[in-house]
Amino acid sequence: MICTFAKKLFENPSNGYCVALFQTDDSSVPEEARKKDKWPSSKITFTGFGYKIPATDAIQLDIIGKWKKSQKYGIQFAIEQCAEIVPPTVEGIVGYLSSGLIRGVSEITARKITDKFGLRALEIIEKEPKRLSEIRGLSDKKIERIVESFSRNKELRNIVSFLSPYDISLNKASKIYDKFGVKSMEILNETPYDLCAVKGFGFLTVDKIALKVKCKPNDKMRIRACADYLMTEFEAKGHVYVPQQELRDACFGQLNQGFKITAVTADEIRNALIEEIRAGRLVNNNGLIYHPMMFQREVELAKSLSDRSLLSPPEWGDVEGALDRAQAKREITLSDAQCEAVRMCFHNNLSLITGGPGTGKTTVLKVIIDVYRDLTGSDDILLAAPTGKAAKRMAEGTGMLTAKTLHSALGLTKEEDKEAHCSIKSGLVIVDEMSMVDIRLAHRLFRNMDSKTTVVLVGDVDQLPSIGPGNVFRDMLQSECIPVVRLDTVFRQSGVSRIVLNAEKIRNGTTGLFYGNDFNFIDTASEEETLEMIKRCYFDEVKKSGLEHVQILAPRREMGETSVLHINNTIRDIINPYVGEKNELYYDGRRFRIHDKIIQNKNMDGISNGDIGVIESVFTNDDEKFAAIRFSDGTEKCYAEDALGVISLAYALTIHKSQGSEYSTVIIPVLMRYYHMLKRNLIYTAITRAKKKVILIGEKRALMAGIHQNDSSKRNSLLAERVKQYVGDKK
């Protein structure tokens, strides 16, 4: 049916879904579908809905679909396919180009194009785009944007239409085009499992699409994609490898889910996995299955650690004298364990220091730095940590001018960087918050560090392990091949903080906690009441301490009224309400406003994963919206609206995301609905983020249950065993 867009009634920007009024001369429109009273016109007016419908009356639309009737909305046209018909006139082409469908084309630009090429303007853009450079005033950058947007707009409409039954957002559909370009529809129809290579398209989503386009359930591509998905899922849970039979069983369960009879046999899975191993896409190490890169990282890291542990340390000179002078200078007396930690660092090439809050780790680091300077007369020292916040705390705590993130020290400016761009040649390297470092980052660190460097790794082994695969710091300790000192005496202030005392109790699995002004528990009867109390406490504490010093930490990111996503939206709408569209940006279903508190979720040049900032302004440049963000260290960066996937609201964070950070006050919901997530190390990590005050809100039995649940779920890793083996082989 040929029609024209008349009026938008509803739009969901996150997936491109639109309900609108359309006008046509086509008499086949059912009488009951015609809008005669509300929309008087000589044309026939009706309601239609679909995805990525061009919202402009500058062109005609050729739509294909079906009439659908609902009790609430009556008869409407469900648009399945939509083709643009641009009027074959100069004015029609100008109207189309300047309608907003093509990025970067104003009416002035559209007229420049038609003045030059007349009725061939669209043909030139599509088939001879280089000729646009003949137009005076069109920069190469603008031409590139026009051509890309023209092509993208056409292809994206087909992709969105094809994927509309699967609730795929417009942003996700755009990622398909970004990956495959004009071949996108061919991929969707012929080799849909290739979509698994697109970020945001997991096997579960792709499998629904693939089975719909007639892929056989036992297709080798399906089994391969499933195995890769499951390997990635195991890695997301912290495992470096998967036992072979466990992978086979998981594949069998996943591939046959939803089928009444066995669709894929165990033999078909076994044979497909054998092919994957022969092709080098998986590694079988004595019945343990690895991704090839993961196997390489574990082996190479174990060799690096064993080599360093066996190297003789430099000839430092009088370490004891330097240690005495450092204590005298700082007017302190270290405990025996603290002195032993300092000596260990100068008697070995690689050393480990572990201890909880208040056990004097920072004091030990200060003295190590003093002793190094005394013995070498040099400041050739690198302080590093996994996150920007942790690095900043490290620099402040030790009195050093700077500390770097590990990514920065290695020259890894982007998350996806495969190789480090910098080698580390400092005489002394101290890495803090080592429990946060996964096997990928640890491998890069030791691979790119000079063998003569003295390395000190510091952390709290009782905190949550790294988000990424492996349990590197714990594995190093358990290898028993690397020198270690455990600091276990609490030294903080005379009136010892209840936070520190309770951290020690929780670490030991003791539930008899001390409560008072700096450590509160507020009982609530429901999740709704918990949310209300979180809001009340948050606003009270922000008034006292300021926005940047108060942080809500929740166990769960999604689902529920006390999830991070729900708390963030609730708090933001109160503390920073909507004041107009021009002050907002929209990305994949999420809104951002001027003055929003945000967190960076990806390493980028000059900005680290975990950095906190505030949106200072929203502005438009060359028809594109931008957010100007100022981060807590003063760094400023502008983000285009379509690049806001790397940030999220930060009034509330997950406990995992808060690792390496400290706040004056933390507010933590603890409810039985999180029972499966509430583990001792999660609670321990959450409360040790607070410097001055902890407020726990919820059910006390949930807190007690969590303290009793020691996270004994072992991560599959052979790092400790490999280090032992390599050290034994070399002795």
Q: What is the DSSP string of 258-291?
A: T-SS-SS-HHHHHHHHHHHHHTTSSEEETTEEE-
3-state secondary structure of 234: helix
Give me 244's structure tokens: 């072979």
Q: What are phi and psi of 524, to 5 degrees?
A: -135, 160
Binding site membership for ATP: which residues? 358-362
* Short-list 323, 316, 315, 317, CA closest to 341: 323
The reported pLDDT for the residue numbered 170 is: 66
Report how far residue 160's alpha carbon sits from residue 30's, in angstroms, rounded to the nearest whole number.
27
pLDDT of residue 724: 95
Q: Beta strand 404-405 with 350-355: parallel, antiparallel or unpaired?
A: unpaired
pTM: 0.80
CA neighbor of 167 nearest in space, from 217, 204, 219: 204
Predicted pLDDT of residue 11? 81
Pairing of strands 647-649, 484-487: unpaired
Structure confidence at residue 545 (pLDDT): 92
Looking at residue 609, its pLDDT comes to 86
Annotated binding site: 358-362
Long-range contacts for 224-229 (Cβ within 8 Å, ≥24 apart)? 224/193, 224/272, 224/276, 224/281, 225/193, 225/196, 226/251, 226/254, 226/255, 227/251, 227/272, 227/273, 227/276, 227/282, 228/196, 228/203, 228/281, 229/196, 229/202, 229/203, 229/204, 229/254
Q: What are phi and psi of 318, to 5 degrees?
A: -80, 85
Q: Which two tokens stand for residue 291?
A: 């991704």
Q: What is the pLDDT of residue 158?
A: 80
Residue position matching structure tokens 């028993």: 480
Q: Percent helix, strand, coil in the chain (nearest 5)?
A: 45, 20, 35
Sites in the chain below the pLDDT cut of 70: 14-15, 38-41, 100, 170, 413-420, 491-496, 622-623, 712-713, 731
Tell me how far the alpha carbon of residue 199 is from its chain's centroid: 11
Query: In this predicted structure, what is the pLDDT of residue 454?
Result: 96
402 burial (CB, 10 Å; 0-12 / 13-18 / 19+) is exposed
